[in-house]
């Protein structure tokens, strides 16, 4: 049985083709770009909500897309344990659709920021990180205006091991200068309690080919390789 992945194309998504490229051409898994209204969960083993500006993000980032029928379909996948990843705008949508807790606020600088950062793996057991090791530092780019993670229930996140990544320096320390947007506790990505759904602001699809990486790393691939491995284990 072949594994099938969907990348949802919300109106205004703009990292959709990038994710399709990496999954199909770099990772080598059968991946389709699906218009949000046409998405049917039954056809897929995993789903990617890509980055961009869904519906222009003129209201609050991700809020309109969170009401797309695609999210109803994805909710079925969430419940039966299939892997779901939200990247950047996808993360904002997952938070707005309450797949994941908390909120993503405007960057502390009040400006959009596009740059390569480092993130440290905090939880290495999720569907997208189980091929990483706790404490690994990954080089990965960010590009967002509303990426400051906030929750008023940080204790619960910590207790449930839902913090997946934190912004860090290259040597893994959580200094303020390593935090590009003012996120609470340097949080860059989180998961649901069941650990099959991960959302993060950085872009693994932009960090999956050495030619695009300042230091020729391909840390982004491990997200997708973990997902494939996770699906294989579920299917057997």
Helix (H, G, I), strand (E, B), or coil: what is residue 117? strand
Q: Does 215 help bind another protein (rule: CB under 8 A)?
A: no
Q: Does 114 help bind another protein (rule: CB under 8 A)?
A: yes
Other C-beta atoms closer than 10 Å to the C-beta of 205 total 30
Footprint of another protein on 185-204 (CB under 8 A): 203
Continuous H helices in 7-136: 16-21, 69-80, 89-96
- Binder of another protein out of 6, 22, 78, 84 (CB under 8 A): 22
Candidate ranges 17-25, 131-139, 155-163, 188-196; the one touching another protein (CB under 8 A): 17-25
Q: Does 69 help bind another protein (rule: CB under 8 A)?
A: no
Q: Is 205 a catalytic residue?
A: yes
Catalytic annotation, pick one of 88, 144, 146, 219: 88
Q: What residues does 120 pair with on adjacent strands? A: 137, 166
Side-by-side strand order, sheet with 113-121: 30-35, 4-9, 46-49, 84-87, 197-200, 187-191, 163-168, 113-121, 137-144
Q: Does 182 help bind another protein (rule: CB under 8 A)?
A: no
Q: How far apart are CA 35 and CA 38, in angstroms?
A: 5
Q: How far apart are CA 87 and CA 23, in angstroms?
A: 14
* Minimum CB–partner distance for residue 230 and another protein (Å): 24
- Binder of another protein out of 162, 205, 219, 221 (CB under 8 A): 205
Q: Is 88 a catalytic residue?
A: yes
> Catalytic positions, please?
88, 203, 205
Q: Which residues bind another protein (CB under 8 A)?
A: 11-12, 14-15, 17-18, 21-22, 25, 35, 51-53, 55-58, 111-115, 141, 143, 145, 203, 205-206, 209, 211-212, 214
């Amino acid at each position: 049985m072949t594994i099938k992945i969907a990348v949802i194309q919300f109106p205004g998504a703009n990292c959709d083709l990038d994710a399709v490229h990496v999954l199909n051409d770099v990772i080598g898994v059968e991946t389709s770009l699906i218009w949000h209204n046409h998405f049917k969960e039954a056809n897929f083993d995993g789903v990617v909500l890509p980055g961009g500006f869904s519906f222009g993000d003129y209201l609050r980032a991700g809020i309109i897309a969170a009401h797309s029928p695609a999210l109803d379909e994805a909710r079925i996948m969430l419940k039966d344990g299939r892997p779901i990843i939200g990247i950047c705008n996808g993360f904002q949508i997952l938070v707005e659709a309450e797949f994941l807790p908390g909120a993503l606020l405007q960057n502390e600088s009040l400006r959009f920021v596009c740059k390569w950062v480092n993130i440290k793996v905090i939880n290495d057991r999720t569907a997208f990180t189980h091929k990483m090791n706790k404490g690994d530092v990954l080089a990965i780019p960010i590009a967002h205006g509303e990426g400051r993670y906030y929750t008023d229930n940080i204790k619960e996140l910590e207790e449930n091991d839902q913090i997946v990544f934190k912004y860090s320096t290259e040597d893994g320390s959580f200094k303020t200068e390593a935090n590009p947007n003012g996120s609470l506790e340097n949080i860059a990505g989180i998961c649901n309690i069941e650990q099959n759904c991960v959302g993060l602001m950085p872009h693994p699809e932009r960090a999956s080919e050495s030619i695009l990486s300042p230091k020729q790393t391909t840390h982004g691939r491990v997200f997708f390789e973990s997902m494939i491995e996770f699906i294989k284990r579920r299917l057997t």
